[in-house]
Chains A and B, each alone.
Chain A
Amino acid sequence: MTELVFFINQVVIAGAVLGCIYALGAVGITLIFGILRFAHFAHSELMTSGAFFAFMLAALFASWGIVTPIPTGFVVLPLAMVMSAIFALGIDKGFYAPLRKRGAKPVILLIASIGVTLMVQGLIRLFFGAGSYSFFETETKDVFRIDTSFLGSTRPLVITEPQLLMIVVTVISVLALHLFLTRSRLGKAMRAMADNADLAQVSGINTALVVRVTWVVAGALACMAGTMLALDVTLKPDLAFNIIIPIFAAAIVGGLGQAYGAIAGGLLIGFAESLAVFNWTMVLRPLNAVLPEWAQLPATLALVPTEYKLTVAFVILVVVLLVRPTGIFKGASS
Protein backbone atom coordinates (compact mmCIF):
# COMPACT_ATOMS: atom_id res chain seq x y z
CA MET A 1 0.00 0.00 0.00
CA THR A 2 2.89 2.34 0.71
CA GLU A 3 3.75 2.12 -2.96
CA LEU A 4 0.25 3.00 -4.06
CA VAL A 5 0.13 6.05 -1.80
CA PHE A 6 3.50 7.08 -3.14
CA PHE A 7 2.15 6.71 -6.67
CA ILE A 8 -0.88 8.84 -5.81
CA ASN A 9 1.33 11.54 -4.32
CA GLN A 10 3.76 11.61 -7.21
CA VAL A 11 1.50 11.04 -10.18
CA VAL A 12 -2.14 11.61 -9.37
CA ILE A 13 -1.85 14.73 -7.24
CA ALA A 14 1.10 16.25 -9.07
CA GLY A 15 -0.48 15.42 -12.42
CA ALA A 16 -3.83 16.90 -11.43
CA VAL A 17 -2.22 20.12 -10.22
CA LEU A 18 -0.15 20.48 -13.36
CA GLY A 19 -3.10 19.47 -15.52
CA CYS A 20 -5.33 22.14 -13.95
CA ILE A 21 -2.80 24.85 -14.70
CA TYR A 22 -2.27 23.66 -18.26
CA ALA A 23 -6.00 23.36 -18.81
CA LEU A 24 -6.78 26.89 -17.64
CA GLY A 25 -3.99 28.31 -19.81
CA ALA A 26 -4.95 26.23 -22.82
CA VAL A 27 -8.62 27.25 -22.63
CA GLY A 28 -7.63 30.88 -23.11
CA ILE A 29 -5.39 30.06 -26.05
CA THR A 30 -8.05 27.96 -27.68
CA LEU A 31 -10.78 30.60 -27.20
CA ILE A 32 -8.59 33.31 -28.69
CA PHE A 33 -7.73 31.05 -31.58
CA GLY A 34 -11.39 30.24 -32.15
CA ILE A 35 -12.42 33.88 -32.28
CA LEU A 36 -9.38 35.65 -33.72
CA ARG A 37 -7.73 32.78 -35.61
CA PHE A 38 -4.21 33.30 -34.39
CA ALA A 39 -1.95 31.51 -31.94
CA HIS A 40 -1.65 33.95 -29.07
CA PHE A 41 1.90 33.43 -28.03
CA ALA A 42 1.85 36.13 -25.35
CA HIS A 43 -0.61 34.10 -23.32
CA SER A 44 2.25 33.07 -21.05
CA GLU A 45 2.79 36.72 -20.20
CA LEU A 46 -0.90 37.18 -19.35
CA MET A 47 -0.41 34.32 -16.90
CA THR A 48 2.78 35.72 -15.42
CA SER A 49 1.51 39.28 -15.18
CA GLY A 50 -1.71 37.95 -13.64
CA ALA A 51 0.34 36.19 -10.98
CA PHE A 52 2.21 39.42 -10.30
CA PHE A 53 -1.07 41.34 -9.98
CA ALA A 54 -2.19 38.80 -7.41
CA PHE A 55 1.17 38.99 -5.68
CA MET A 56 1.01 42.77 -5.40
CA LEU A 57 -2.53 42.63 -4.06
CA ALA A 58 -1.54 39.97 -1.54
CA ALA A 59 1.40 42.09 -0.43
CA LEU A 60 -0.96 45.04 -0.06
CA PHE A 61 -3.32 42.95 2.06
CA ALA A 62 -0.43 41.80 4.20
CA SER A 63 0.76 45.37 4.70
CA TRP A 64 -2.74 46.32 5.87
CA GLY A 65 -2.49 43.51 8.36
CA ILE A 66 -5.39 41.55 6.88
CA VAL A 67 -5.08 37.90 7.76
CA THR A 68 -7.17 35.43 5.82
CA PRO A 69 -8.00 31.84 6.74
CA ILE A 70 -7.02 30.57 3.28
CA PRO A 71 -3.86 31.68 1.44
CA THR A 72 -4.19 35.38 0.57
CA GLY A 73 -3.35 34.53 -3.03
CA PHE A 74 -6.74 32.88 -3.39
CA VAL A 75 -8.58 35.68 -1.59
CA VAL A 76 -7.25 38.36 -3.92
CA LEU A 77 -7.66 36.17 -7.00
CA PRO A 78 -10.99 37.65 -8.18
CA LEU A 79 -9.58 41.16 -8.00
CA ALA A 80 -6.40 40.14 -9.82
CA MET A 81 -8.52 38.45 -12.49
CA VAL A 82 -10.36 41.69 -13.10
CA MET A 83 -7.03 43.51 -13.43
CA SER A 84 -5.77 40.87 -15.84
CA ALA A 85 -8.91 41.07 -17.93
CA ILE A 86 -8.46 44.83 -18.26
CA PHE A 87 -4.79 44.31 -19.07
CA ALA A 88 -5.67 41.78 -21.79
CA LEU A 89 -8.21 44.22 -23.28
CA GLY A 90 -5.58 46.94 -23.27
CA ILE A 91 -3.07 44.74 -25.06
CA ASP A 92 -5.61 43.87 -27.72
CA LYS A 93 -6.58 47.47 -28.23
CA GLY A 94 -3.00 48.66 -28.32
CA PHE A 95 -1.33 45.99 -30.41
CA TYR A 96 -3.62 43.47 -32.08
CA ALA A 97 -6.71 45.50 -33.00
CA PRO A 98 -4.79 47.96 -35.25
CA LEU A 99 -3.23 45.03 -37.13
CA ARG A 100 -6.60 43.28 -37.51
CA LYS A 101 -8.10 46.50 -38.81
CA ARG A 102 -5.43 46.62 -41.48
CA GLY A 103 -6.38 43.07 -42.46
CA ALA A 104 -3.03 41.59 -41.40
CA LYS A 105 -2.64 37.85 -41.77
CA PRO A 106 -2.86 35.70 -38.62
CA VAL A 107 0.85 34.98 -38.82
CA ILE A 108 1.60 38.70 -38.46
CA LEU A 109 -0.54 38.73 -35.32
CA LEU A 110 1.44 35.74 -34.08
CA ILE A 111 4.68 37.70 -34.56
CA ALA A 112 3.10 40.72 -32.88
CA SER A 113 2.27 38.53 -29.91
CA ILE A 114 5.98 37.74 -29.66
CA GLY A 115 6.61 41.47 -29.43
CA VAL A 116 4.03 41.71 -26.67
CA THR A 117 5.65 38.75 -24.89
CA LEU A 118 9.00 40.52 -24.90
CA MET A 119 7.56 43.85 -23.77
CA VAL A 120 5.54 42.45 -20.90
CA GLN A 121 8.40 40.25 -19.79
CA GLY A 122 10.78 43.21 -20.03
CA LEU A 123 8.43 45.34 -17.92
CA ILE A 124 8.00 42.64 -15.28
CA ARG A 125 11.76 42.23 -15.03
CA LEU A 126 12.20 45.96 -14.92
CA PHE A 127 9.93 46.31 -11.91
CA PHE A 128 10.54 43.05 -10.10
CA GLY A 129 14.05 42.08 -11.21
CA ALA A 130 14.95 38.58 -12.28
CA GLY A 131 14.64 36.96 -8.85
CA SER A 132 11.84 34.82 -7.52
CA TYR A 133 9.14 35.63 -4.99
CA SER A 134 6.94 33.55 -2.77
CA PHE A 135 3.35 34.09 -1.72
CA PHE A 136 4.25 32.38 1.53
CA GLU A 137 6.77 34.76 3.02
CA THR A 138 4.45 35.98 5.75
CA GLU A 139 1.97 33.14 5.93
CA THR A 140 2.60 29.42 6.08
CA LYS A 141 1.77 26.94 3.38
CA ASP A 142 -0.41 24.37 5.13
CA VAL A 143 0.34 20.79 4.24
CA PHE A 144 -2.27 18.12 4.80
CA ARG A 145 -0.84 14.73 5.64
CA ILE A 146 -3.62 12.19 5.53
CA ASP A 147 -2.69 9.17 7.55
CA THR A 148 -3.16 6.05 5.47
CA SER A 149 -1.91 3.51 8.00
CA PHE A 150 -5.37 1.98 8.12
CA LEU A 151 -4.65 0.86 4.56
CA GLY A 152 -1.37 -0.59 5.69
CA SER A 153 0.71 2.24 4.26
CA THR A 154 3.66 3.74 6.07
CA ARG A 155 3.47 6.97 4.08
CA PRO A 156 0.80 9.64 4.42
CA LEU A 157 -1.10 11.07 1.50
CA VAL A 158 0.38 14.55 1.07
CA ILE A 159 -1.39 17.51 -0.45
CA THR A 160 -0.77 21.18 0.25
CA GLU A 161 -3.57 23.62 0.95
CA PRO A 162 -2.95 25.60 -2.28
CA GLN A 163 -3.02 22.39 -4.29
CA LEU A 164 -6.33 21.34 -2.83
CA LEU A 165 -7.85 24.79 -3.34
CA MET A 166 -6.42 24.88 -6.84
CA ILE A 167 -8.20 21.72 -7.87
CA VAL A 168 -11.45 22.96 -6.31
CA VAL A 169 -11.15 26.38 -7.97
CA THR A 170 -10.38 24.82 -11.34
CA VAL A 171 -13.37 22.52 -11.18
CA ILE A 172 -15.62 25.48 -10.27
CA SER A 173 -14.20 27.62 -13.09
CA VAL A 174 -14.58 24.88 -15.67
CA LEU A 175 -18.19 24.42 -14.62
CA ALA A 176 -18.76 28.17 -14.76
CA LEU A 177 -17.18 28.31 -18.19
CA HIS A 178 -19.37 25.45 -19.35
CA LEU A 179 -22.50 27.21 -18.14
CA PHE A 180 -21.35 30.45 -19.73
CA LEU A 181 -20.74 28.84 -23.11
CA THR A 182 -23.93 26.78 -23.20
CA ARG A 183 -26.45 28.93 -21.35
CA SER A 184 -25.61 32.59 -21.74
CA ARG A 185 -26.36 34.68 -24.78
CA LEU A 186 -22.78 35.98 -25.04
CA GLY A 187 -21.26 32.57 -24.49
CA LYS A 188 -23.34 31.14 -27.29
CA ALA A 189 -22.41 34.08 -29.48
CA MET A 190 -18.77 33.26 -28.76
CA ARG A 191 -19.29 29.69 -29.90
CA ALA A 192 -21.16 30.94 -32.94
CA MET A 193 -18.33 33.25 -33.90
CA ALA A 194 -15.74 30.52 -33.43
CA ASP A 195 -17.88 28.25 -35.60
CA ASN A 196 -18.52 30.71 -38.43
CA ALA A 197 -17.40 34.31 -38.00
CA ASP A 198 -19.02 35.57 -41.21
CA LEU A 199 -22.39 34.12 -40.36
CA ALA A 200 -22.12 35.49 -36.82
CA GLN A 201 -21.67 38.94 -38.29
CA VAL A 202 -24.56 38.44 -40.70
CA SER A 203 -26.78 37.36 -37.80
CA GLY A 204 -26.23 40.76 -36.26
CA ILE A 205 -23.94 39.52 -33.51
CA ASN A 206 -21.78 42.36 -32.28
CA THR A 207 -18.44 40.76 -33.13
CA ALA A 208 -16.39 43.52 -31.52
CA LEU A 209 -18.19 42.80 -28.25
CA VAL A 210 -17.53 39.07 -28.60
CA VAL A 211 -13.83 39.80 -29.15
CA ARG A 212 -13.77 41.88 -25.97
CA VAL A 213 -15.55 39.18 -23.98
CA THR A 214 -13.03 36.64 -25.27
CA TRP A 215 -10.12 38.71 -24.00
CA VAL A 216 -11.83 39.19 -20.65
CA VAL A 217 -12.42 35.45 -20.22
CA ALA A 218 -8.96 34.48 -21.50
CA GLY A 219 -7.23 37.12 -19.40
CA ALA A 220 -9.09 36.15 -16.24
CA LEU A 221 -8.40 32.44 -16.71
CA ALA A 222 -4.75 33.14 -17.50
CA CYS A 223 -4.45 35.12 -14.27
CA MET A 224 -6.00 32.23 -12.39
CA ALA A 225 -3.60 29.73 -13.94
CA GLY A 226 -0.56 31.94 -13.36
CA THR A 227 -1.44 32.72 -9.77
CA MET A 228 -2.06 29.09 -8.94
CA LEU A 229 1.21 28.07 -10.54
CA ALA A 230 2.99 30.72 -8.50
CA LEU A 231 1.23 29.51 -5.35
CA ASP A 232 2.35 25.97 -6.03
CA VAL A 233 5.97 26.76 -6.85
CA THR A 234 7.47 30.26 -6.79
CA LEU A 235 6.77 33.46 -8.65
CA LYS A 236 9.39 34.54 -11.17
CA PRO A 237 9.38 36.60 -14.38
CA ASP A 238 9.65 33.57 -16.66
CA LEU A 239 7.05 31.64 -14.64
CA ALA A 240 4.74 30.78 -17.52
CA PHE A 241 7.12 31.40 -20.40
CA ASN A 242 8.77 28.11 -19.49
CA ILE A 243 5.55 26.12 -19.75
CA ILE A 244 4.10 27.70 -22.87
CA ILE A 245 4.94 24.59 -24.91
CA PRO A 246 2.93 22.14 -22.79
CA ILE A 247 0.09 24.67 -22.73
CA PHE A 248 0.07 25.05 -26.49
CA ALA A 249 0.45 21.31 -26.81
CA ALA A 250 -2.65 20.91 -24.62
CA ALA A 251 -4.62 23.33 -26.78
CA ILE A 252 -3.54 21.68 -30.03
CA VAL A 253 -3.98 18.12 -28.74
CA GLY A 254 -7.50 19.04 -27.66
CA GLY A 255 -8.21 20.62 -31.04
CA LEU A 256 -7.67 24.38 -31.44
CA GLY A 257 -10.90 26.25 -30.89
CA GLN A 258 -12.40 23.53 -28.69
CA ALA A 259 -12.76 24.69 -25.08
CA TYR A 260 -13.50 21.22 -23.72
CA GLY A 261 -10.70 19.76 -25.80
CA ALA A 262 -8.26 22.19 -24.21
CA ILE A 263 -9.31 21.08 -20.73
CA ALA A 264 -8.97 17.41 -21.66
CA GLY A 265 -5.65 18.14 -23.37
CA GLY A 266 -4.35 20.02 -20.33
CA LEU A 267 -5.16 17.18 -17.97
CA LEU A 268 -3.78 14.62 -20.40
CA ILE A 269 -0.46 16.40 -20.70
CA GLY A 270 -0.27 17.10 -16.98
CA PHE A 271 -0.76 13.44 -16.11
CA ALA A 272 1.49 12.24 -18.92
CA GLU A 273 4.33 14.45 -17.72
CA SER A 274 4.14 13.29 -14.14
CA LEU A 275 3.74 9.68 -15.21
CA ALA A 276 6.71 9.86 -17.57
CA VAL A 277 9.13 11.07 -14.95
CA PHE A 278 7.75 8.78 -12.24
CA ASN A 279 10.40 6.58 -10.69
CA TRP A 280 9.01 3.07 -11.03
CA THR A 281 11.64 1.57 -8.77
CA MET A 282 9.79 3.10 -5.83
CA VAL A 283 6.73 1.03 -6.64
CA LEU A 284 8.44 -2.09 -7.94
CA ARG A 285 11.06 -2.33 -5.20
CA PRO A 286 9.41 -5.34 -3.52
CA LEU A 287 10.23 -7.23 -6.72
CA ASN A 288 13.92 -6.97 -5.85
CA ALA A 289 13.38 -9.71 -3.30
CA VAL A 290 12.35 -12.18 -5.98
CA LEU A 291 14.53 -10.93 -8.83
CA PRO A 292 17.93 -12.56 -9.33
CA GLU A 293 21.10 -10.65 -8.47
CA TRP A 294 21.85 -9.50 -12.03
CA ALA A 295 18.38 -8.17 -12.69
CA GLN A 296 18.04 -5.94 -9.63
CA LEU A 297 16.16 -2.71 -10.34
CA PRO A 298 18.33 0.41 -10.69
CA ALA A 299 17.88 3.26 -8.22
CA THR A 300 15.92 5.28 -10.73
CA LEU A 301 13.77 3.67 -13.35
CA ALA A 302 11.80 6.41 -15.05
CA LEU A 303 10.53 6.39 -18.58
CA VAL A 304 12.07 9.81 -19.11
CA PRO A 305 14.75 11.45 -16.94
CA THR A 306 13.38 14.49 -15.09
CA GLU A 307 15.57 16.85 -17.13
CA TYR A 308 13.63 15.86 -20.23
CA LYS A 309 10.17 16.38 -18.76
CA LEU A 310 9.48 19.12 -21.28
CA THR A 311 9.90 16.73 -24.17
CA VAL A 312 6.94 14.63 -23.04
CA ALA A 313 4.38 17.25 -24.00
CA PHE A 314 6.10 17.71 -27.28
CA VAL A 315 6.21 14.03 -28.16
CA ILE A 316 2.50 13.74 -27.41
CA LEU A 317 1.90 16.77 -29.58
CA VAL A 318 3.83 15.34 -32.52
CA VAL A 319 2.15 11.96 -32.27
CA VAL A 320 -1.31 13.56 -32.14
CA LEU A 321 -0.52 15.84 -35.07
CA LEU A 322 0.67 12.92 -37.14
CA VAL A 323 -2.19 10.60 -36.25
CA ARG A 324 -5.05 13.09 -35.97
CA PRO A 325 -4.03 16.54 -37.21
CA THR A 326 -7.13 18.36 -35.98
CA GLY A 327 -6.67 17.21 -32.40
CA ILE A 328 -8.61 14.73 -30.34
CA PHE A 329 -11.74 16.87 -30.37
CA LYS A 330 -11.80 17.81 -34.03
CA GLY A 331 -10.61 21.42 -33.93
CA ALA A 332 -10.58 24.25 -36.42
CA SER A 333 -8.97 23.34 -39.70
CA SER A 334 -8.19 26.78 -41.03
Chain B
Amino acid sequence: MPLIELKHVVGGYGGAPILNGVNMAIEQSDIGVIVGPNGAGKSTTLKAIFGLLKVTAGTIDFLGENVANSLPDKLVPKGLSFVPQEKNVFTSMSVEENLEMGAFTRKDSFAETMAWVYEMFPVLAEKRRQPAGELSGGQRQMVAMGRALMSKPKLLMLDEPSAGLSPRYVIEIFETIVRVNAEGVGILMVEQNARQALAFASKGFVLAGGQNRFTGTGAELIADPEVAKSFLGG
Protein backbone atom coordinates (compact mmCIF):
# COMPACT_ATOMS: atom_id res chain seq x y z
CA MET B 1 0.00 0.00 0.00
CA PRO B 2 1.50 3.33 -1.02
CA LEU B 3 1.89 6.14 1.56
CA ILE B 4 -0.37 8.40 -0.44
CA GLU B 5 -2.45 7.63 -3.49
CA LEU B 6 -4.47 10.08 -5.59
CA LYS B 7 -7.14 8.52 -7.80
CA HIS B 8 -8.85 10.62 -10.48
CA VAL B 9 -8.81 13.75 -8.34
CA VAL B 10 -11.00 16.56 -9.70
CA GLY B 11 -11.10 19.91 -7.95
CA GLY B 12 -10.80 23.70 -8.06
CA TYR B 13 -11.70 26.94 -6.33
CA GLY B 14 -15.44 26.72 -6.99
CA GLY B 15 -15.49 27.67 -10.68
CA ALA B 16 -14.34 25.40 -13.49
CA PRO B 17 -12.16 22.58 -12.08
CA ILE B 18 -8.41 23.03 -12.38
CA LEU B 19 -7.63 19.38 -11.73
CA ASN B 20 -9.30 17.00 -14.17
CA GLY B 21 -8.33 13.60 -12.88
CA VAL B 22 -4.89 13.47 -11.32
CA ASN B 23 -3.40 10.08 -10.40
CA MET B 24 -0.36 9.68 -8.21
CA ALA B 25 1.16 7.22 -5.79
CA ILE B 26 4.10 7.84 -3.48
CA GLU B 27 5.89 5.51 -1.08
CA GLN B 28 7.55 6.71 2.07
CA SER B 29 10.93 6.08 0.48
CA ASP B 30 10.08 8.09 -2.62
CA ILE B 31 11.01 11.53 -3.82
CA GLY B 32 8.17 12.51 -6.12
CA VAL B 33 8.58 15.50 -8.41
CA ILE B 34 5.72 17.16 -10.28
CA VAL B 35 6.69 19.12 -13.37
CA GLY B 36 4.72 20.71 -16.15
CA PRO B 37 3.91 24.03 -17.82
CA ASN B 38 2.37 27.02 -16.02
CA GLY B 39 -1.28 26.49 -15.12
CA ALA B 40 -0.99 22.71 -15.37
CA GLY B 41 -2.29 22.30 -11.82
CA LYS B 42 1.00 21.41 -10.14
CA SER B 43 0.65 23.59 -7.03
CA THR B 44 -3.09 23.00 -7.12
CA THR B 45 -2.46 19.27 -6.69
CA LEU B 46 -0.50 19.88 -3.50
CA LYS B 47 -3.18 22.27 -2.22
CA ALA B 48 -5.89 19.74 -3.02
CA ILE B 49 -4.09 17.11 -0.97
CA PHE B 50 -3.77 19.60 1.88
CA GLY B 51 -7.45 20.51 1.91
CA LEU B 52 -6.88 24.09 0.77
CA LEU B 53 -9.32 23.77 -2.13
CA LYS B 54 -12.37 21.70 -2.84
CA VAL B 55 -12.01 18.19 -4.20
CA THR B 56 -15.21 17.36 -6.06
CA ALA B 57 -14.43 13.85 -7.28
CA GLY B 58 -11.84 11.14 -6.81
CA THR B 59 -10.08 9.99 -3.64
CA ILE B 60 -6.91 10.90 -1.80
CA ASP B 61 -5.83 7.94 0.30
CA PHE B 62 -3.24 8.66 2.94
CA LEU B 63 -2.19 5.54 4.87
CA GLY B 64 -5.22 3.81 3.41
CA GLU B 65 -7.73 6.41 4.59
CA ASN B 66 -9.50 8.86 2.27
CA VAL B 67 -8.50 12.33 3.46
CA ALA B 68 -9.96 14.38 0.60
CA ASN B 69 -11.28 17.73 1.88
CA SER B 70 -9.81 17.27 5.37
CA LEU B 71 -8.41 20.48 6.82
CA PRO B 72 -4.73 20.96 7.71
CA ASP B 73 -5.32 20.78 11.47
CA LYS B 74 -6.51 17.18 10.91
CA LEU B 75 -3.89 16.31 8.28
CA VAL B 76 -0.80 17.51 10.11
CA PRO B 77 -1.23 15.12 13.06
CA LYS B 78 -1.72 12.26 10.57
CA GLY B 79 1.75 12.93 9.16
CA LEU B 80 1.34 15.36 6.27
CA SER B 81 3.28 18.60 6.02
CA PHE B 82 3.31 21.37 3.47
CA VAL B 83 5.76 24.15 2.64
CA PRO B 84 4.02 26.83 0.54
CA GLN B 85 5.98 28.62 -2.15
CA GLU B 86 5.61 32.19 -0.88
CA LYS B 87 5.18 33.77 2.54
CA ASN B 88 6.23 30.52 4.15
CA VAL B 89 7.69 31.90 7.39
CA PHE B 90 6.22 33.95 10.23
CA THR B 91 8.33 37.04 9.62
CA SER B 92 7.72 38.74 12.98
CA MET B 93 8.53 35.63 15.01
CA SER B 94 11.93 34.20 15.86
CA VAL B 95 13.32 31.18 14.08
CA GLU B 96 12.72 29.03 17.13
CA GLU B 97 9.11 30.22 17.43
CA ASN B 98 8.60 29.40 13.76
CA LEU B 99 9.74 25.86 14.46
CA GLU B 100 7.47 25.65 17.53
CA MET B 101 4.49 26.60 15.38
CA GLY B 102 5.26 23.62 13.20
CA ALA B 103 4.88 21.44 16.26
CA PHE B 104 1.57 23.03 17.29
CA THR B 105 -0.43 19.86 16.76
CA ARG B 106 1.96 17.73 18.80
CA LYS B 107 1.07 16.97 22.37
CA ASP B 108 4.38 15.24 23.18
CA SER B 109 7.74 16.88 23.76
CA PHE B 110 9.34 18.10 20.57
CA ALA B 111 12.78 19.03 21.91
CA GLU B 112 14.34 16.06 20.15
CA THR B 113 12.79 16.98 16.80
CA MET B 114 14.03 20.52 17.19
CA ALA B 115 17.53 19.30 17.86
CA TRP B 116 17.24 17.15 14.72
CA VAL B 117 16.14 20.17 12.65
CA TYR B 118 18.99 22.28 14.02
CA GLU B 119 21.38 19.46 13.19
CA MET B 120 20.11 19.43 9.63
CA PHE B 121 20.24 23.24 9.34
CA PRO B 122 23.10 24.37 11.61
CA VAL B 123 22.74 27.97 10.44
CA LEU B 124 19.27 28.10 11.99
CA ALA B 125 20.64 27.10 15.38
CA GLU B 126 22.91 30.13 15.23
CA LYS B 127 19.99 32.44 14.42
CA ARG B 128 17.35 30.83 16.61
CA ARG B 129 16.52 34.12 18.41
CA GLN B 130 16.44 36.25 15.26
CA PRO B 131 13.12 37.18 13.60
CA ALA B 132 12.65 35.03 10.51
CA GLY B 133 11.87 38.14 8.46
CA GLU B 134 15.49 39.26 8.80
CA LEU B 135 16.96 36.13 7.20
CA SER B 136 18.10 35.68 3.61
CA GLY B 137 15.92 33.89 1.05
CA GLY B 138 17.77 30.59 1.36
CA GLN B 139 17.71 30.69 5.14
CA ARG B 140 14.00 31.44 5.10
CA GLN B 141 13.46 28.37 2.95
CA MET B 142 15.32 26.37 5.60
CA VAL B 143 13.09 27.83 8.33
CA ALA B 144 10.04 26.90 6.28
CA MET B 145 11.24 23.34 5.79
CA GLY B 146 12.28 23.10 9.41
CA ARG B 147 8.83 24.26 10.49
CA ALA B 148 7.19 21.62 8.30
CA LEU B 149 9.48 18.89 9.69
CA MET B 150 8.64 19.75 13.30
CA SER B 151 5.44 17.73 13.10
CA LYS B 152 7.52 14.63 12.25
CA PRO B 153 5.70 14.13 8.95
CA LYS B 154 5.61 10.93 6.93
CA LEU B 155 5.13 12.96 3.77
CA LEU B 156 6.60 16.41 3.19
CA MET B 157 5.14 18.43 0.35
CA LEU B 158 7.11 21.35 -1.06
CA ASP B 159 5.84 23.94 -3.52
CA GLU B 160 8.78 25.11 -5.67
CA PRO B 161 11.37 25.07 -2.88
CA SER B 162 14.04 26.48 -5.19
CA ALA B 163 12.02 29.44 -6.50
CA GLY B 164 13.93 32.70 -6.36
CA LEU B 165 17.10 31.17 -4.91
CA SER B 166 20.61 31.60 -6.25
CA PRO B 167 22.07 28.48 -7.97
CA ARG B 168 24.31 27.74 -5.01
CA TYR B 169 21.30 27.62 -2.66
CA VAL B 170 19.25 25.57 -5.14
CA ILE B 171 21.79 22.79 -4.92
CA GLU B 172 21.94 23.09 -1.15
CA ILE B 173 18.16 22.88 -0.83
CA PHE B 174 17.98 19.85 -3.14
CA GLU B 175 20.72 18.13 -1.14
CA THR B 176 18.79 18.79 2.04
CA ILE B 177 15.65 17.32 0.51
CA VAL B 178 17.53 14.14 -0.39
CA ARG B 179 18.90 14.01 3.15
CA VAL B 180 15.45 14.42 4.69
CA ASN B 181 14.19 11.64 2.44
CA ALA B 182 17.03 9.43 3.61
CA GLU B 183 15.79 9.93 7.18
CA GLY B 184 12.51 8.27 6.19
CA VAL B 185 10.30 11.14 5.07
CA GLY B 186 8.45 10.78 1.78
CA ILE B 187 8.76 13.82 -0.48
CA LEU B 188 6.32 15.25 -2.99
CA MET B 189 7.42 18.48 -4.59
CA VAL B 190 6.61 20.81 -7.44
CA GLU B 191 9.61 22.16 -9.33
CA GLN B 192 10.36 24.64 -12.07
CA ASN B 193 13.97 23.48 -12.29
CA ALA B 194 12.52 20.32 -13.82
CA ARG B 195 15.63 18.65 -15.24
CA GLN B 196 17.64 19.22 -12.09
CA ALA B 197 14.88 17.92 -9.83
CA LEU B 198 13.98 14.90 -11.93
CA ALA B 199 17.63 13.86 -11.76
CA PHE B 200 17.20 12.75 -8.15
CA ALA B 201 13.47 11.91 -8.27
CA SER B 202 12.42 8.34 -7.78
CA LYS B 203 9.02 9.21 -9.23
CA GLY B 204 8.21 11.93 -11.72
CA PHE B 205 4.86 13.22 -12.86
CA VAL B 206 4.35 15.45 -15.87
CA LEU B 207 1.09 17.36 -15.54
CA ALA B 208 -0.67 19.35 -18.24
CA GLY B 209 -4.21 20.72 -18.27
CA GLY B 210 -4.86 19.28 -14.82
CA GLN B 211 -4.13 15.70 -15.92
CA ASN B 212 -1.20 13.28 -15.87
CA ARG B 213 0.62 13.22 -19.19
CA PHE B 214 3.63 11.13 -18.30
CA THR B 215 4.57 9.11 -15.25
CA GLY B 216 7.77 7.28 -14.53
CA THR B 217 11.02 7.43 -12.63
CA GLY B 218 12.93 10.66 -12.90
CA ALA B 219 15.56 9.09 -15.13
CA GLU B 220 12.93 7.61 -17.45
CA LEU B 221 11.26 10.97 -17.92
CA ILE B 222 14.51 12.74 -18.66
CA ALA B 223 15.34 10.04 -21.18
CA ASP B 224 11.92 10.20 -22.86
CA PRO B 225 12.41 12.32 -25.98
CA GLU B 226 8.82 13.52 -26.03
CA VAL B 227 8.95 14.75 -22.43
CA ALA B 228 12.29 16.39 -23.07
CA LYS B 229 10.97 18.12 -26.16
CA SER B 230 7.67 19.40 -24.77
CA PHE B 231 8.36 19.95 -21.09
CA LEU B 232 12.05 20.13 -20.40
CA GLY B 233 12.95 22.65 -23.05
CA GLY B 234 14.66 20.39 -25.60
CB within 8 Å of B: which residues of A?
Answer: 185, 188-189, 191-192, 195-196, 198-207
Contacts and interface: CB of A to CB of B under 8 A. Distances in A.
Residue with the highest number of chain A CB atoms closer than 10 Å, among B101, B104, B105: B101
A64 B101 CA distance: 48
B109 to A, nearest CB: 12
Given A189-B101, A189-B104, A204-B104, A196 B90 contact: yes
Contacts of B92: 191, 195
Interface of B: 50, 52, 71-73, 75-77, 82, 84, 87-93, 97, 100-102, 104-105, 147-148, 151
B82 A196 contact: no
Contacts of A203: 72, 76, 101-102, 104, 147-148
A300 to B, nearest CB: 46
The main secondary structure of chain A at its interface with chain B is helix
A188 B75 CA distance: 21
Nearest to B80: A204
Nearest to A258: B92
Contacts of A189: 101, 104
Contact of A200 (B75, B97, B101): B101
A239 to B, nearest CB: 34
Nearest to B98: A192
B93 A191 contact: yes
Given A188-B93, A192-B101, A195-B93, A202 B87 contact: no
Contact of A199 (B71, B76, B90): B90
Contacts of A195: 90-93
13 contacts: A192-B90, A198-B84, A199-B87, A199-B89, A202-B52, A202-B72, A202-B82, A202-B84, A203-B72, A203-B147, A205-B104, A205-B105, A206-B73
Contacts of B105: 204-205
A204 B93 contact: no
A185 B84 contact: no
Residue with the highest number of chain B CB atoms closer than 10 Å, among A185, A201, A204: A204
B90 A204 contact: no
Given A204-B73, A204-B75, A204-B77, A198 B101 contact: no
A211 to B, nearest CB: 13
Contact of B84 (A199, A204, A205): A199
Contact of A205 (B50, B73, B88, B91): B73
A87 B77 CA distance: 32
A258 to B, nearest CB: 9
Given A196-B89, A204-B151, 17 more contacts: A185-B100, A189-B101, A191-B92, A192-B90, A192-B97, A196-B87, A196-B91, A198-B84, A198-B87, A199-B84, A199-B88, A201-B52, A201-B72, A202-B52, A203-B72, A203-B76, A204-B75
A191 B104 CA distance: 13
Q: Which A-B residue pairs are the 8 nearest by beta carbons?
A: A204-B76, A204-B105, A195-B90, A206-B73, A192-B101, A195-B92, A205-B104, A204-B73
Residue with the highest number of chain A CB atoms closer than 10 Å, among B71, B72, B75, B100: B72
Nearest to A205: B104
Nearest to A257: B92
Nearest to B76: A204
B34 to A, nearest CB: 18
Contacts of B72: 201-204
